[in-house]
């Protein structure tokens, strides 16, 4: 039987049928078109109406302003030999927030950096919320390349400079050193930090997601490099003094030592060395006990090296002349409850022979003949009790009490070098004054643009008379025979000063000294050698310090082409004729 559908039933059936294919097609296209229009509108809005905002956000994520390092000025010796230079190196830096997310990269990175894994791990965790940290400073370029070859996300390089000292420990006390940021901490590096230090600039760069610089966009501020500084030091003489002083300290098992060489014509310091030393290139040696430039900081009683100055004061003020006879009695002089002694009974001595024999009694008697003001004025005039102002940091005043407070015992002991203290630099200045015909020229460690005028503190006549006496001290009958050098006349004075101990003076601890000049005819150099507490048996200045003077001066005279003044006429004739024969 055939079933018939009513109109109502047919209508319901049609309403339940799915949409035809064309309807669905146009509906889909409409939805996609609407989305496209919305996206196009959004893009138009962002790129046209909000372009500045997008550019700013993009730059903030890629553009960075970094410091453009300035190069610190070089330190040079008088002949242009570099004593301190800055070499380009790399700082390995990181974004800890990125490194923290990749712990698997930590061990290879620590190995490449030469760091302990635990140290690197601690640094990353401690700074995980920051975007910059130094992993290692002053890394050599080759090692930096090895680190970057790991391609660790968040690790990048930053250019910086490392200070290098070509002469190492030879000039360590003079030049000093800087910290990792090239700020001067000791020596000339510290004293002239502002002059040597440059002013960094600013660069705008593009970094990728890992922090690597992929493009230098522009220079916002140009870096200004520091200025070069020229010292008066002659590296050749500096090395000679360093070698000889080191040898002497080792041979005599001394506690410490200092030596200074000065050009007496202009006050320029040609060499200044100390023992023990340190190497500023090796930061493991940077201990404060070794930093001290003993030549300018350490005070000591100068002993017999003061006797020539005492006699200069007496000659200057007409208390004596070179031939005046001084009674030294039996080598003992009682003064209040003190006894001044000589090593031998010299009997009666001329003023000149007081120097030659180094008589304490003779020097004390001469000192007591003077008004205290006359002796004090000369000692102060040659630099005792005042800062030398050479340009070196840490200079000490020494100790020279004002004459108004002197008693007779004080005046007598000062006459032969006790009861006052000086530095090696002050003693060098005093002998440079004697060498320069009594004119005191300010000492300097920095090369001057022009000569400076000195101040006369001793008459030329008296200075020459004292030099003649000092030449006797270097003769066969004097105390400084070992200070002589071939073909040059030498003048100088030994000193063997007892060191204080408790309320008196030690009988076992000494400072061995020698102060001298050459050549006598026309002095060019003055040198002071101080050896503190030699302990290998010998302790006299003539035995320990004088040989250092002789060895350094022998070579220094030749290096500076100083004409000999002690050549026998026969030797000159032979030299002239030999030269002709060779030709």
Positions annotated as catalytic residues are 304
CA distance 105 to 135: 14
Within 13 A of 525's CA, how many CA atoms are on the CB side?
29
Nearby residues of 46 by Cβ (< 8 Å), 6 or more positions away: 54
Nearby residues of 18 by Cβ (< 8 Å), 6 or more positions away: none
Q: Which helix (H) or strand (E) holds 241?
A: helix 235-252
How far apart, in Å, do the first and last CA atoms of the chain sit? 152
CA distance 358 to 320: 17
Peptide bond into 519 cis (omega under 30): yes
Helices 360-369 & 408-415 angle (0-180, nearest 10) = 130
Kindly state the greatest CA–CA separation across the chain. Answer: 172
CA distance 213 to 346: 83
- Confirm if 147 and 112 have CB atoms less than 8 A apart: yes
Shortest CA distance to 294 belongs to which of 367, 223, 399, 394? 394
CA distance 277 to 133: 35
- Confirm if 190 and 199 have CB atoms less than 8 A apart: no
At 239 the three-state DSSP class reads helix
Shortest CA distance to 432 belongs to which of 396, 410, 390, 463? 463
Strands 338-341 and 332-335: antiparallel
């Amino acid at each position: 039987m055939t079933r018939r559908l009513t109109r109502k039933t047919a209508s319901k059936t049609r309403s339940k049928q799915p949409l035809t294919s064309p309807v669905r097609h146009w509906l889909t296209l409409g939805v996609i078109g609407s989305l496209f229009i919305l996206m196009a509108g959004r893009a138009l809005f962002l790129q046209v109406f909000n372009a500045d905002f997008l550019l700013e956000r993009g730059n903030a994520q890629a553009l960075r302003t970094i410091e453009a390092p300035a190069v610190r000025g070089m330190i040079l010796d008088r002949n242009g030999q570099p004593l301190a230079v800055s070499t380009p190196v790399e700082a390995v830096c990181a974004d800890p927030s990125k490194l923290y997310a990749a712990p698997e990269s930590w061990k290879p990175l620590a190995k490449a950096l030469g760091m302990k894994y635990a140290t690197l791990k601690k640094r990353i965790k401690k700074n995980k919320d920051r975007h910059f940290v130094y992993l290692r400073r002053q890394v050599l370029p080759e090692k930096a390349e090895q680190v970057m070859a790991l391609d660790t996300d968040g690790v990048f390089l930053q250019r910086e400079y490392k200070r290098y000292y070509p002469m190492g420990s030879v000039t360590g006390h003079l030049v000093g050193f800087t910290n990792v940021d090239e700020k001067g901490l000791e020596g000339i590096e510290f004293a002239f930090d502002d002059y040597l230090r440059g002013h960094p600039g600013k660069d705008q760069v593009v970094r990728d997601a890992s922090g690597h610089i992929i493009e230098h966009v522009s220079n916002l501020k140009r870096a200004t490099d520091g200025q070069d500084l020229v010292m008066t030091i002659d590296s050749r003489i500096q090395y000679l003094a360093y070698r000889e002083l080191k040898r002497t300290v080792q041979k005599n098992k001394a506690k410490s030592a200092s030596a200074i060489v000065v050009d007496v014509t202009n006050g320029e310091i040609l060499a200044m060395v100390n023992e023990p030393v340190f190497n500023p290139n090796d930061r493991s040696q940077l201990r404060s006990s070794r930093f001290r430039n003993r030549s300018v900081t350490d005070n000591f009683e100068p002993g017999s090296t003061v006797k020539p100055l005492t006699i200069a004061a007496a000659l200057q003020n007409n208390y004596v002349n070179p031939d005046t006879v001084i009674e030294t009695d039996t080598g003992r002089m009682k003064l209040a409850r003190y006894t001044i002694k000589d090593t031998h009974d010299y009997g009666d001595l001329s003023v000149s022979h007081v120097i030659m024999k180094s008589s304490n009694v003779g020097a004390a008697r001469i000192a007591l003949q003077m008004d205290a003001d006359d002796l004090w004025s000369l000692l102060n005039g040659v630099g005792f009790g005042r800062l030398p102002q050479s340009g070196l940091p840490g200079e000490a005043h020494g100790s020279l009490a004002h004459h108004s407070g002197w008693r007779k015992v004080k005046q007598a002991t000062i006459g032969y070098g006790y009861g006052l203290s000086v530095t090696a630099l002050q003693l060098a200045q005093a002998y440079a004054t004697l060498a320069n015909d009594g004119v005191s020229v300010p000492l300097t460690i920095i090369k001057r643009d022009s000569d400076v005028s000195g101040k006369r503190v001793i008459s030329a006549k008296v200075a020459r008379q004292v030099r003649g006496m000092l030449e006797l001290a270097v003769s066969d009958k004097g105390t400084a025979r070992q200070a002589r050098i071939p073909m040059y006349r030498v003048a100088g004075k030994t000193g063997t000063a007892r060191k204080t101990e408790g309320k008196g003076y030690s009988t076992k601890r000494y400072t061995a000294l020698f102060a001298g000049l050459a050549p006598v005819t026309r002095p060019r150099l003055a040198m002071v050698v101080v050896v503190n507490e030699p302990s290998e048996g010998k302790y006299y200045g003539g035995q320990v310090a004088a040989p250092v003077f002789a060895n350094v001066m022998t070579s220094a005279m030749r290096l500076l082409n100083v004409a000999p003044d002690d050549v026998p006429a026969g030797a000159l004739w032979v030299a002239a004729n030999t030269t002709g024969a060779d030709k």
